[in-house]
Each structure stands twice: as C-alpha cells, then as structure tokens.
Structure 1
Amino acid sequence: MAKTKKNVNEMSFLDHLEELRWHLIRAVIAVFIAAIAAFIAKGFIFDTLIFGPTKPTFFTYDILCSISQSLGLDDSFCFNEAAFEIQSRTMAGQFSAHMWTAITAGFIIAFPYVLYELWKFISPGLHPNERKHSRGFIIISSILFFLGVLFGYYVICPLSINFLGTYQVSDKVHNDFDLSSYISLIRSSVLACGLIFELPIIIYFLAKVGVITPEFLRKYRKFALIIVLVVSAIITPPDIASQVIVAIPVLILYEVSIFIARFVTKRQNSKALKNV
C-alpha cells in the first residue's frame, strides 16, 4: 500500500497496475456488499421490480394507454393482462436468476462508488485546474446513469414486454417464457440505457483530448439520427411510436453533447490564447 503514496510522476507501470488493482478490489467489494443486500431483498427485487412490468397496474401502461387514446391511436399501448407465463425449466434456474439479478442490482446501486474509485485512479494524472473543473464528474455521471436505468425500466421494458409477450405467429403457439430469457430482457434494457445516457460524459472527455469537436458532431448529425433510429428499432418493438419514444431522449442527449463539446472547445481555445 506504500506505493500508492508515491508521486504520480515517480510511479512505474507496475506501480500504476498495483494502484489500479486496489481501486478495482474496493469497487468489487462495494458491488458485492450491495449485491448481498439485493439478494436478501428477494421479494422486493422480484415481485415488485422484476415482475412489475408484467402487471396491468404498472403505471407506465396507464400513461402510454392514455396518451395513445388521446392521440386517436389504437390500443396497442394498453396492457390488460399478461398473455404469457414465466417458467424455470432447469434445476438451478431460479437460484441462478436470483444470484445474477442480485449482482446486477448490486452494480447499479454501487455505481456511484465504482465511479468514485475510477476517478481516484484517474484524477492524480490531471492538472489541478482540470481536477477543479471536473469535480461534478461523479454526481453528473451517476445522475445520468440512474436516469438511463429508469428510462430503460419504465419505458423500454414495458414496450418490449407488451409487444413480445402478446406477439403470436399462430393461435396454436402459447407464450411460455423462460425465467432467464425474461430477466435477460430486463437486465439488457436497463443497463444499455444506463450506459447510453452517459453519452454527454463521454463526449466531454473526448472533447477535452481533442478527439471530438462540435463541428464534427454537427456535421454528422444526420448520420447520428440514422444510428439512433436503427438502435431504437433494435431495442424496441417494430412500430414507429415506440421508436420515436426511445429516439427523442437519445437525440436530446446528442444535442446536449454538442453544447458540451462547444463549451469545452471554447474554454480550451481561450486558455490557449492566454498562454500565447
């Protein structure tokens, strides 16, 4: 542990690896502790959260149904009753689902601390001025991540479950989904949206190192729109309304990223002029 007290410029490559190892260990311990808490709270995690989108009382369905009816659309967004059942067909299926769901929940809960450990490893290599202007990194990144998780859970999951759970190629085929398949849908939707909502943070650091410029983002805005629509088509049911619902916040994040890149570029240009 004495190596961690060395000046950053004096640390060798192996010293940096040792430093990174301890940060990762502490982050993993935090995730493990949060996962234990989630494992114990099995009733709330599964009955309330995991299986919440399968219930007609899930408030997202009421909101989407009301909006679709007010716009004169059909009732495809209304969810009356689950037309499927969830089953486990392996001996260790439920225990495995319980364990991995607890680990996923532990990562989500401990995400701010994981970022904190990552920041502690990166920040010594930054200039004091850069550290000063990046103090809100953990708070802003955590807020964006949790907003993405909530968007994935309350928007993506209900849309996907409503469509996939009621889709049939024939009346002779009944939907009985495996527990692992259902939880995989919830997990991938939540985590993917959480990471997508980190786009402004990623753009901020790419702009800081000069990889991304606001001109570049504006120039390829049309291509970004196409990519967003394609991604929306992949992670949502194949209907225009669902794709628009998902695409709007991502496009807003893209526009925010352009503003962030412009702000960073202006700050760096003004700093360069002062040093001339």
Structure 2
Amino acid sequence: MNVDRLAELNRGNQSAPSQHVEMRPLMAPPSDPQSTQGFLDQISQLQDVIKGINENISRLRSLQQNYLQTSDETQQSRLRSQITSMNDDTNQMIKSVKDRVKAIEPTPRHPDLGIRKNQFANVSKSFMDSIERYRGLEIEFQKQEAQQLERQIKIANPNATSEEIDQAVHDAQTGSRPVFAQQLLGQRYQAQETLENVTQRHEEIQKLAQSINQLTELFQEMQGLLENQAHVLNTIEASSYEVVNEVEKGNLQLNQAVTLAKSTRRKKWIMFAIIATIIIVIVIIVVVKLVPQNKQ
C-alpha cells in the first residue's frame, strides 16, 4: 500500500468516521529458519499476519454491507475505494503468508522434524481457514451485487424477462463483456447514468468472480501442500519404523549370538573340567598301582 493511497484512505475516513480502515505491515524480516527458535519465531509471525487477515475480512464485511445499503453516490464511491484498498491490502498479506509458509516447509534434513511438522500443519490450517472465510465473504458479496444488478436492469427496462436478466448476471460472473446487459436497457432507457451504473456493477461482479477463482486455486494449492507434506512425513515415519524393526531384529540376533557364545563357553569349561577330572583319576590310579611295587 503506497503512501498516496493510504493518505487518500485516511481522508475518506475523516469524512466517514464510522468506517475506519487500518493498513498493517505485512510481516517482520524473516529470522533464520534453520534453527528451531528461528522456525518458531516465523510461525509466530505468520499467526500474527493471519490474525490481521481475519480482522481485514471482518472490516470488509462491514464495508460491503454499508456499500450495498447506501444509495448516495458520493458515499458509494468512498466505500468502493475503501473496499478496493482493503482487498489490495488483504491480498498482499495472503500472498506474503503463502510465500513464507512454502519457504518454511519441513524436510527430512531437519533434526527437529516432529516440532516443525505439528507447527507447520497448525499454521497452514489456520491460513486455509482464513482463505475459505475470505472466499465465502466474496461469494456472498457477489450474490448481493448480482441482486443489485438485477434490480437496476428491471428499473431500467421493466420488460426484461427473467431469462434475459439471468443471462446478464451470468455474463458478469463469467467475465463476459456487458453487451447483453446494455442491450436489455433498450434505446428508450439508455440514460447515461443508468448505463454507467449497470456497467460498473457488471465490472464489480466480474472482479469478484476473479477473486473467488484465485482464492479457490490458492486454497487447493495449500491443501495440496499439506497433503504432500503428510505423505512425505508418513513415508519418513514408515522408514523410521522399518529401521527400528531392523534394529530390534539385529539386537535380538545379537542377544541370541551372545547367549549362544556364553552357552558354548560354558560347555567348553564343562568339557575341560570333565577331561581334567579324567586325567586326575588316571594319574591317581597309576600312582596307586606303582606305590605297592616300589615297597616290595
């Protein structure tokens, strides 16, 4: 958000004190994500910005409702400018969070993988909740804008059929040019002001459709990131379990080998004792036989 736009926004707020729009910094400079503390610091920063996104969404809801309820053109213009500024600020924050979330994605090389895994999942889910909330707000606003467009067309051309009006709304939602809506007005009803209002409403609905599509794609991208992260981590855990099982098998085989070695050594000592005993017995017998002969 540049200074001129912020100054313009502040001037608009002075004229409409009930609509306060606060622009906030995107995020503090990144700390070293390689250390555990640096990673946790970035998670904390991300949560703060996500909180700011949610606050912006709440302000947007209020601005949109006021915009739809007012019929004063000056007030509408002011509110439209505030909505645009708030959307721009919110989209910048969302882009910043998306880039930073992808930058701190855990990998197997991190020794603190367990901590990173849980924190990454939590902040990603919070971000996805904000995206879905923002998307839901834009969808609802688009529906209300479409209703306004229908009313404008009916006022301008009471003879317009429901099918024709639905086609005009569909053109707006799909990004088509507002030619069909202009034709509905007819030559007798083509007052410049009415035509401009219809065209402007058409463009607003078109922008909302683009915003909704972008938010849907972003949500799907984040969902894919989480699913991929879960797959990688599950693979790592499965590999870890296999390693543990192999180590346990190795330890079991080692214990068996040690037990066998002890048993072998015990058998050797028993055999040695038996042989030694036999030798001693033989020596005693020989000595006993030789001693009487020497006496004679």
TM-score by length of 2: 0.30
Highest CA radius of gyration, 1 or 2?
Answer: 2
TM-score by length of 1: 0.32
More RCO (CA 8 Å, sep 6+): 1
